[in-house]
């Protein structure tokens, strides 16, 4: 199974001067934890990393340090996550008919999660890893007045990996570009095109490192594991 890792962000909400994926997490760059999990997965056979050109030397250093057994390609990222994934899709080897996409910032995903996602993708067109929402979610208007409380039993928090048939996802991205759709995950494009997205049970610890608090929580979880 081919894996694309969007890693071309700037980490604005982290408030750091550089791409948050290069920040240190228990003495190793955040991205190297993500890559180590992908390397340990039985199902992943090829890894593409979308990054900004200025980060490539740091990415190369991470790869040299990990000395992965799987082929890895660095791909030019875009201005948005959506654009980065689109570039990744176009850089896939021609034999790739299905692809998993996993945010570099979700550095706690386990090899088992990659394996379960890859196996599930053999029997569906599109999937996302997700977990049931724990909080009660409110829909709020611009004046911060609550408009609605959706039934929590129908709500799932989307994570990555997300997986798709390559041809279909490419088509969705192209339609999205034509119509100016702006989305924060690939499943949203699939949904907008009327295609089915299957849920795969995610992991509670599979958080996306977004803010400095997340970095501390991630460090705590990794310490518990070791």
- Give the binding site for ligand CTP (CB under 6 A): 6-13, 20-21, 50, 77-81, 84, 103-105, 208, 210
Residue 170 or residue 208: which is nearer to Mg ion going by CB? 208
Site string for Mg ion, 181-210 (x = CB under 5 A): ------------------------------
Rounded to a whole number of angstroms, the minimum distance from the CB of residue 90 to Mg ion is: 21
Residue 143 burial class via C-beta count within 10 angstroms: exposed 0-12, middle 13-18, buried 19 and up: exposed
Residue 16 or residue 125: which is nearer to ligand CTP going by CB? 16
Q: How many residues does the chain have?
A: 226
Residue 141 or residue 182: which is nearer to ligand CTP going by CB? 182
Q: Which residues are within 8 A (CB) of 55 and not within 5 positions of it... i.e. 6 or more apart? A: 7, 8, 18, 19, 21, 22
Q: Which residues are within 8 A (CB) of 201 and not within 5 positions of it... i.e. 6 or more apart? A: 116, 129, 130, 131
Residue 75 or residue 200: which is nearer to ligand CTP going by CB? 75
Q: What is the DSSP letter of 27?
A: T
Site string for Mg ion, 4-33 (x = CB under 5 A): -----x------------------------
Residue 48 burial class via C-beta count within 10 angstroms: exposed 0-12, middle 13-18, buried 19 and up: buried
User: Closest CB to ligand CTP belongs to which residue?
Assistant: 9
Rounded to a whole number of angstroms, the minimum distance from the CB of residue 9 to ligand CTP is: 2
Rounded to a whole number of angstroms, the minimum distance from the CB of residue 20 to ligand CTP is: 6
Binding partner of residue 28 among Mg ion, ligand CTP, none, CB cut-off 5 to 8 Å per kind: none
Binding partner of residue 84 among ligand CTP, Mg ion, none, CB cut-off 5 to 8 Å per kind: ligand CTP
Binding partner of residue 197 among ligand CTP, Mg ion, none, CB cut-off 5 to 8 Å per kind: none
Report the candidate in 25, 26, 31 with the shortest Cα–Cα distance to residue 6.
31
Question: Which tokens hold the place of 196?
Answer: 């089915």
Cα 107 off chain centre by = 9
What is the rounded radius of gyration, in angstroms, for the C-alpha atoms of the chain? 17
Q: What is the largest CA-CA distance in the chain?
A: 53
Residue 104 or residue 126: which is nearer to ligand CTP going by CB? 104
Question: Which tokens hold the place of 115?
Answer: 């394996």
First to last CA, the chain: 28
Rounded to a whole number of angstroms, the minimum distance from the CB of residue 164 to Mg ion is: 20
Rounded to a whole number of angstroms, the minimum distance from the CB of residue 136 to ligand CTP is: 24
Interface contacts to Mg ion, rule CB under 5 A: 9
């Amino acid at each position: 199974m081919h894996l694309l890792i969007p890693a071309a962000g700037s980490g604005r909400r982290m408030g750091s001067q550089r791409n948050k994926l290069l920040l240190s997490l228990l003495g190793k760059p955040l991205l190297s934890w993500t890559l180590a999990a992908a390397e340990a997965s039985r199902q992943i056979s090829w890894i593409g990393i979308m990054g900004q050109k200025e980060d490539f030397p740091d990415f190369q250093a991470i790869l040299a340090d990990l000395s992965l057994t799987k082929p890895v390609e660095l791909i030019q990222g875009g201005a948005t996550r959506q654009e980065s994934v689109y570039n990744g899709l176009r850089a896939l080897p021609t034999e790739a008919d299905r692809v998993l996409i996993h945010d570099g910032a979700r550095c706690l995903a386990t090899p088992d999660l990659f394996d379960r996602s890859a196996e599930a993708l053999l029997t569906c067109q599109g999937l996302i890893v997700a977990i049931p929402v724990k909080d009660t979610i409110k829909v709020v208007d611009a004046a911060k007045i609550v408009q609605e409380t959706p039934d929590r039993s129908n709500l799932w928090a989307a994570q990555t990996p997300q997986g798709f048939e390559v041809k279909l996802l490419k088509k969705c991205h192209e339609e999205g570009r034509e119509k100016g759709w702006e989305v924060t995950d690939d499943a949203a494009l699939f949904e907008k095109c009327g295609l089915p997205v299957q849920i795969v049970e995610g992991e509670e610890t599979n958080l996306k490192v977004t803010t400095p608090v997340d970095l501390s929580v991630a460090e705590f979880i990794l310490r518990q594991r070791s």
